[in-house]
Structure 1
Amino acid sequence: MQTTRNSIHAAKAPAAVGPYSHAVRYGGLLFLSGQTPIDPETGEIVAGGIEAQTRQVFANLKSVLTAAESNFDAVLKVNVYLTSLDDFSAMNAIYGEVFAEPYPARTTIAAACLPLGADVEIELVARDPLG
């Protein structure tokens, strides 16, 4: 089992907006930093409301998983942060398109605000296919 922390940089994900890694590989697990709905091409939050933002977040997470040689099937735990729980149903519908049964464990909470004015941020823990 791996006992050193190795960071993962995903070239196709938005650049980190602080001093952190896109993901860390450790002890047979992948820990993905929260992704917001930043378009990697423009560096801006996508327009179009919670549906467009949630889709962009999952696209960004997919880029990080791909860089780690993984995918959504390996996800064990999801943490979802919404600035309004009124957006839960719309986010949940898109979440249901991304994950299949058996679903990962999940926590969803309301956050007062998120980086760059995002309405949603999602972080993941997954099995490491290389670990």
Structure 2
Amino acid sequence: MVERINYKNLPTIVGPYVHATKHANTLYISGLTAMGSDAQKEEVCLQTEEILSQIDRILIAEELTKNNIIKLTIYLADISSLSKIREALFAFYGGALPACSLVEVSALISKELHVEIEAIIALNSNE
């Protein structure tokens, strides 16, 4: 069975999707952006920090840690900004490096947005 979840402590979704879905022992987090947050109109580093904070809030709500992160997919509107977000990523991981894919895209849902991040999370780290 698939459980569809919207988290109250994240920006409200206005599109036809949910923040995350749970299936078996995996949590699939939709592409998160800074949309609806104070960082929406800020530069890529602040938007990245906001998104990582949203992922952290999901982990806390699910009583998980960053060690449960299996994979991130990062979408950047400008690949040259990768060097600007690396520090935020390393600080967030705290040594628990996940698998990661990076994709440069021509645009995100709003011109104000520079980065979007999806995550796959293991719900049971004992397996």
Of the three residues 92, 116, 124, the one matched with 1:121 is: 116
Distance 1:23 1:14 in 2: 13
Segments of 4+ in structure 1 off by > 6 A? none
Of the three residues 7, 12, 15, the one matched with 1:18 is: 15
Unpaired segments ≥5 residues, structure 1: none
TM-score, normalising length from structure 1? 0.85
Of the three residues 59, 62, 71, the one matched with 1:65 is: 59
1:34/1:121 contact within 8 Å kept: yes
Residue 55 to residue 102, structure 1, CA distance change in 2 (3 Å): closer
Of the three residues 77, 88, 91, the one matched with 1:94 is: 88
TM-score, normalising length from structure 2? 0.87
Residue 68 to residue 21, structure 1, CA distance change in 2 (3 Å): farther
1:50/1:87 contact within 8 Å kept: yes
Query: CA RMSD for the aligned pairs?
Result: 2.0
Of the three residues 68, 80, 91, the one matched with 1:74 is: 68
Unpaired segments ≥5 residues, structure 2: none
* 2:110 alignment partner, SS class: helix
Count of residues in Structure 1 that have an aligned counterpart in Structure 2? 125
Q: What is the deviation of 1:102?
A: 4.2
Name 1:47's counterpart in structure 2: 41
Range moving further from structure 2, 113-122 or 61-70:
61-70
Distance 1:123 1:96 in 2: 17
Identity %: 22
1:82/1:121 contact within 8 Å kept: yes
2:67/2:96 contact within 8 Å kept: no
